[in-house]
Structure formats: structure tokens, C-alpha cells
Amino acid sequence: MPINYNEKNKTFKLDTENSSYIIQICEENYLVNLYYGAFIPDSCVPNRSRRATNASFSPVNPRCGFSPDSAPMEYATSGAGDFRISALEIQNSNGDSVTDIRYSGYKIYDGKNEIPMIPSSYVNDKGEAQTLEIYAKDEVTGAAVTLYYSVFSKYDVIARRIRVTNDSSEKMRIERAFSLCLDLPDMNFDLISLYGCHAKERNIERRRLAHGIQGVSSRRGSSSHNQNPFIALAQNGADEEHGDVYGFNLVYSGNFSALAECDFNSTTRVIMGIDPDTFSWELDSGEFFDTPEAIMVYTSFGIGEMSRLFHRFYNNNLIRGRYKTEKRPLLINSWEAAYFDFDADKLVDFAKEAKKLGVEMLVMDDGWFGKRNNDCSSLGDWYVNEDKLKGGLGNLIKRVNDEGLKFGIWYEPEMISPDSELFRAHPDWCVHVKGREPMLGRNQYVIDMSRKDVRDNIWEQMYKVLSENNIEYIKWDFNRNISDAGSVLLPHERKKEFFHRFALGTYDLMNRLVTTFPNILFENCSGGGGRYDPAMLCYSPQIWASDNTDPIDRLYIQFGTSMCYPASSMGAHVSANDRTGYGTKCNVARWGTFGLELDPTYLTDEEADIIRDEIKEYHKNYELVNRGDLYRLISPFENPYRAAWQFVSPDKSRTMFTLVTMRKEFRPHLIVKLRGLEPDAYYKNERTGEVLSGALLMNAGLDLTNTAGQTGESTVIYFDKVE
């Protein structure tokens, strides 16, 4: 079984196929972490040092030498002798914030339960996972804490979260409640994170851990363009295929923190969860609070394998619904083709030309509703602008369907324009604080999703449009961060609950939509890739990776995104920029969901032929990209000239290799070694017919000296296993 309790040693052992995680109940019912790393058969390992230093505190028998400030605490609390960053801090009715939880019991069961109101991973059947609940309590405050560990053995994944229950008769306030805490026995790691901004999302940054606190966070009201809720600790010197790597990803779309502290003992503590600086939560007697889930993986096979573990797990146990497995329609989006300047006839013309290319869906982006002809009005007025769409939406959809294309539509439900009927009727519905004029961002306010009456209004407007029309896709956008954070309905003692309540409100509306309209394909967007997180993947199986569709810039964005997120989730389109030819644009976009972001009526015959052929290749290799294993071969973050990557089918029978030259390099030779193949099998080059062994392709490599040598050129090579 993946989870076992050893009564003699008082240890819980959590095993995946390739990793082990061991917790021990020690002196005075403290919980400590003994081990997390490569699989070991033992139920206990030699005790990790937890002795007090001269300046540390020991709440138990001084002769045992135990100190929370030195021990590898399983879930660290605040104010009770552990001076490192804490995962939990609770203020009781007296105003004291000392928190000290001790073990009180456990339960092990097959499967995994959902988290009320919060998206999370799931099991397809109970045998896929096993869950451990460890119960702990602070006897002084009455705070009862449940630590959840769900072990997905096949994927080397442990999903973690906590629940805090007020078992006292008085109110208490949660000041911080992180989803995971992990103490590692050394600090010989590099911290990997993903930073960026609009149109330059998820750049890979790697830096050596140092003594003190370091990490990433967002306080923007979303997971953000600027930092992603992902970090990894990679053993010094670890690369794509070698070395110990720990990966952490928070299933949450709001403010977060992911921190690592290296202490005086040169050990490392990692915590990840809701950002505590913009959060608190009041619990009345008997109430409970659930944190979002954190996904944790370990591998000894390098950064690439860490990524593949996340990819496989998210494809199987996070993404859900019809389009988890069903082939998604290839779409063309109207935004970069027309922006706000379109009518029904122009969209039908797009559909006619796109159909000739092999496109399967037309998406009408921003500008179809209210009096929306620019970005200065009408958000919140989700009714059809019939001055623009003569004959109404139903007539337009029928015309597009008659051309053989499905129809999709754009929404931004969490926003409201000051120039809108909804705002004039309900000016208090925008996010604001009393006495301050709320700031505009992109000429719009954020609507207060923490309020049920607001969500009900948006739901009713959306339901009317969606239920009356044959709409098969929604692009859900979120184009600005949250400033002036506050809700008029929250009393002063609950003001810091706003950001989390906003996230819960968004989840509530999204859940209503995907439940009521299970056949609609949702694609999340946030000014591009500003809310690219696992929680959004629970509702939308694909996310628009960036508003930047330049193929060379996209190499960086897609390499960074792939550190944690699968190709099946990565919204990637071909646009009309001139930096490269259409062949390279298509080769880069085929890494992700693939689609068009251009006016097809402007294509030359030659361009149309290239795109038509590339779309055939996309359809042919859909499963390879969406379900295959990704290998990053040459990273643009490390090589200024070229980028290369490879997809390998799960059964290793087919592989697709892609090389892009970002800028010409004067060098005599280019050898690229493939990965992930069977060394004893033979593979046929689909283009040349040459048959080579997997061992040769992986060890000797491909001589690409005369391939894709000029700036902006690219090549794709397919190999099929010879039976």
C-alpha cells in the first residue's frame, strides 16, 4: 500500500513508485519529517538531528535536547520556539498568536476527497490514490488541524493541504495557513522559479539558495504574469536528465507565496500557500477553513523528468471534462485579425477562408456586446450588440455553422466598465474601498466576485446567451490586476478575507458554467498568460499562454511554461507577424493547442498552402503532442542561437523533433542527441526513410549542421519505430 503506519517506530511512510516520504511522531507528540527523496524500503531512517542549540528553546524534557527551532518540523507553527518561517499562525480571542499543534490521531483511506468550493486534483477511481489524514490540535486555543496527504503512486505525486477547525467556544482568526511545509536536511539546491510580465510570461530563473528567506509571491489578486505559483529545488548541478529535483505547484488563482528559508544549520524549509500579508480568516466556533491544494513531486532524474511528472499528472488527474481526452477543435480567433472592427459579414468571410485551411472553429473575441467598439465601455452588459451583428447572434452562428465551423465567444465576467448600464445601476458592485475613488486599469474596474448577488447577475446574463445559442467555446479573460481591494459587504474584521473570497467567487461562477454547459470548451486568459495556474486547468483544459504570438518570443514563453504545465494546456497560435515565415510560426505553435490569430482573407496562395499543410500535420500528430512526453533539448535560456525540443509517444513508437534557429550562428557542426527512445529499437526517419537505432539517435545524435541554419528557419523531423 502507498501509505503505512508503523506503530513501533511511530512513523507514517508514504511511497510512490520512485519516492518515499516519512513522518514521525516524536517527543510530546510533535510531528517531524524524517525523509523525502528516492524510494527506500525501510519504514524508518536514522533520526534527523533535532537537537537544540544554546540559543534555542525546548518545550519538552531538556535532557532530550529537542527544539522546534532545530527540528525538521512537519508543519511549522508560529511563536512556540520555532523562529523560522511558519506555515500556521492563529490568533485566539485574547489576541495571542502563539500556535502549537500536537499529534492526536490519523486515518488512511483509498481515494481522495474534493475540497469544498476549491478546485483540486481528483481520482478517476479509488485505486489511483490513497489519502492520509493526520489530526493535530492546539489545546490552548482549541484549533484542530487536519493535514491531508494524497499519494498518487504512479505519478510520484503527493497532494497536500490542511483544514483548520475551531473547536473552541470563542472566535479565532487565522493569520496564515500554508498548504505545505517541508524541511530538507541541507541547502545544496538551486531555486527555480518563473517570472515575467505581460507578453513576456514565465521566464526561467535559477539561483543558488542562500541563508535567509527567498522566494516568489503575488499580491495582485491573481496568480499573475509576474510570478507563477510554481517553484522547484534542484540539486546543485542538476540538469534536464540528472540530479535530485523537488517540484511544487499551488492549485490556486489568487495571491500566493512560495518561500524557502535556509537557517543557521544550513537546512532548508519550503512553504507554499495563500499569501499571508493579504489574508486573514475569522472562524466562529465550529467553523472550518480549507487551504488550496499544493502538488509536490520528487525525482532523481533531473528537471525534465520533474516536468513530465507534472504533465502526466495534470493531463490525467487535474484537467477534466469532455475535452480531457476528446480532440479539441482547431480554432481561429478574430482578435488580431479585426480587434473591435468587425461585423457579421466580416466574421463569415473569416469562416469561409478558414474552412479552406482546415480550421474547425471561429471564435468571436472582444467587441460583440453592449455598445462595445473600443475598450472604454460595456463590460458587464453581456447582451448582443445588434447594431454590429445585424440579424442577431443566432443568425451569425447559423451562418458560421453553415460554412462548416463551430462557433466560440469571448467573455470577461470579472470586470465592469464605468461606462456600462450595469455600473450605472450598481456602482457599488465594483471592487473599491470606502472614501477612495477606485483606480482604472485598461479603462475598467474589477467587479466584486465575492458577492453572490453580483455572481448571480453575471450568471443570468451569460446563461441567457449560452442557452439560446449554439456556442461551443468560451474564452474567459481577466485583463487587469485588483487594486483598491475591498467589498462593501465585508465588516471591518473580515476585510482581509476579500482576496480569497474573490477567488472562491470566481470558482463558483466557473463551476456553474462548466456544470451547466459540459460540452463547451473553455479557454482561460488573463491579458494573455496572467492566470496560468493549476486551478484554472480544473475549469479550462487550455490557457492562452501569452498575448505575444511572435514565434521567437514564444520559444521562451513555451519553454518556461513547460517547466510545470503540459503542452495540451498551452494556447499557441499562428499570427501575421513578419519575424519568421509561416513554417516556423506553425512549428512553434504546434507545441501547444495550435490555432490561428490572423485575417485569413489576407493570406497569399503560398502562405495558405503552408498553413494548410501544417494543419494536416497538427491533426496527424495531435495525440503525440497532447499525450506524449516532452524533452527540452536546447533551451533558448541557455543557447542564444537555437532552441530544440522533442515529443515522444507514451509507447515510444513515434517521436517529433523540432529545431528553431533564433539567430544565425557561425559554427562548423551541430549535433543534437534525442531522448526518451528505446535504445534497442530501430526508428525510421519519415522524411528520408533512413533507419537508425534508438541508441544511435540518443548517443551519437543527429548531425544538423546544414539544417535550419538561417535566422528564423526551423525544421521538424519525425521518427517511427520499425516493428
Question: Mind telling me the catalytic residues?
Answer: 477, 547
DSSP string, 124-171: SSGGG-EEEEEEEEETTTTEEEEEEEEEEGGGTEEEEEEEEEE-SSS-
- Collapsed DSSP state (helix, strand, coil) of residue 427: helix
Q: Are 247 and 238 in contact (CB under 8 A)?
A: no
CA 87 from centre of chain: 22
Cα diameter, the chain? 85
Cell of 695: 541508441
Looking up cell 536536511, which residue turns up? 185
Q: Are strands 331-333 and 361-364 parallel, antiparallel or unpaired?
A: parallel
Q: Which residues pair with 148 in a beta bridge?
A: 133, 161
One-letter amino acid of 379 = L
Q: Which residues pair with 326 in a beta bridge?
A: none
Q: Are 248 and 229 in contact (CB under 8 A)?
A: no
Q: Which residues pair with 333 in a beta bridge?
A: 363
What length is written for the chain? 723
**What phi, psi does 612 have (nearest 5°)?**
-60, -45
Q: What angle do CA 409, 413, 416 make, to 5 degrees?
A: 120
Rounded (10°) CA dihedral 690, 692, 698, 704: -20
Q: Are 215 and 258 in contact (CB under 8 A)?
A: yes
Contacts of 54 (CB under 8 A, 6+ apart): none
Rounded (10°) CA dihedral 582, 587, 590, 595: -10
DSSP conformational letter for 700: T
Q: Are 532 and 566 in contact (CB under 8 A)?
A: no
How far is residue 478 from each of residues 226, 228, 398, 524, measured CA to CA in Å?
Answer: 15, 16, 29, 9
Cell of 444: 475598467
What angle do helix axes 498-516 and 452-468 make, rounded to 10 degrees? 20
Q: Are strands 574-575 and 595-597 parallel, antiparallel or unpaired?
A: parallel
- Collapsed DSSP state (helix, strand, coil) of residue 539: coil
Q: What angle do CA 563, 509, 317 make, to 5 degrees?
A: 35
Positive or negative: CA dihedral 247, 161, 98, 172 = positive
Distance between CA atoms of residues 302 and 309, nearest Å = 11
Q: What angle do CA 515, 519, 524 make, to 5 degrees?
A: 75
**What phi, psi does 362 have (nearest 5°)?**
-105, 130
User: Helix, strand, coil % (nearest 5) of the chain?
Assistant: 25, 35, 45
Q: Are 629 and 311 in contact (CB under 8 A)?
A: yes
Looking up cell 507563477, which residue turns up? 228
How far is residue 539 from each of residues 107, 230, 476, 511, 645, measured CA to CA in Å?
Answer: 30, 19, 10, 7, 28
